Amino acid sequence: MENEENEVKEVSVETGDSNGIKISDDVVAVISGVAVSEVPGVAGMAGGFAGGISEVLSGKKNLSKGIKVEVGEKETKIDVNIIVEYGTRIPDVAFEIQNRVKKAVETMTGLTVLEVNVHVQGVSTDNKLVENEEPKEE
């Protein structure tokens, strides 16, 4: 049984001359992942269980984790699943992600980015000191 996520899809991008350039969905996902990782306030990417296991087994960081890409002839739609750091303003983080991903993908691939949808899947509280604990009464 083949896993559909491992299929490599290619898109043809026409340049000014007769040469065509084929860009894989995975390439757009990696470009997006790098752009997201540079945004302050992003604690990590939210991906599937299978992605986490392959990351552990291979020892390599999956730069496209939490990114879903739909590429058409000359345009693309990108979904980003993130975990934000506690205390950050989520609308500001999402806006910055949209701007950086759009700029990076359009600059590097020549594709038009129609949508960058940011899905906040969680909040990281790793560095937060819990202050609201009440003492237990016996």
Residue 75, both tokens: 């345009």
Residue 81's closest CA among 56, 59, 64, 102?
64
Report the CATH number at residue 81: 3.30.70.1350
Count up the domains in the chain and report the number: 1
Cα 68 versus chain centre, distance: 7
Whether 103 is covered by a domain: the verdict is yes
What local confidence, expressed as pLDDT, does residue 126 receive? 77
Mean pLDDT of the chain: 78
Is residue 22 situated within a structural domain?
Answer: yes
Question: Sign (positive/negative) of CA torsion 78, 79, 85, 90?
Answer: positive
Residue 33 pLDDT greater than 90, yes or no: yes
| Unique residue bearing structure tokens 């730069």 | 63
Does residue 114 contact residue 78 with C-beta atoms inside 8 Å?
no
Residue 129 is assigned to a structural domain of this protein: no
Angle between the N-to-C axes of helices 90-109 and 25-37, in degrees from 0 to 180, rounded to the nearest 10: 140
Q: Quick one: pLDDT at residue 53?
A: 43
- Which pTM value belongs to this model? 0.71
Enclosing domain of residue 91: 7-124
Residue 137 placed within a domain: no
Strand partners, 25: none
Report how far residue 117's alpha carbon sits from residue 127's, in angstroms, rounded to the nearest whole number. Answer: 27
Burial class (CB in 10 A: 0-12, 13-18, 19+), 123: middle
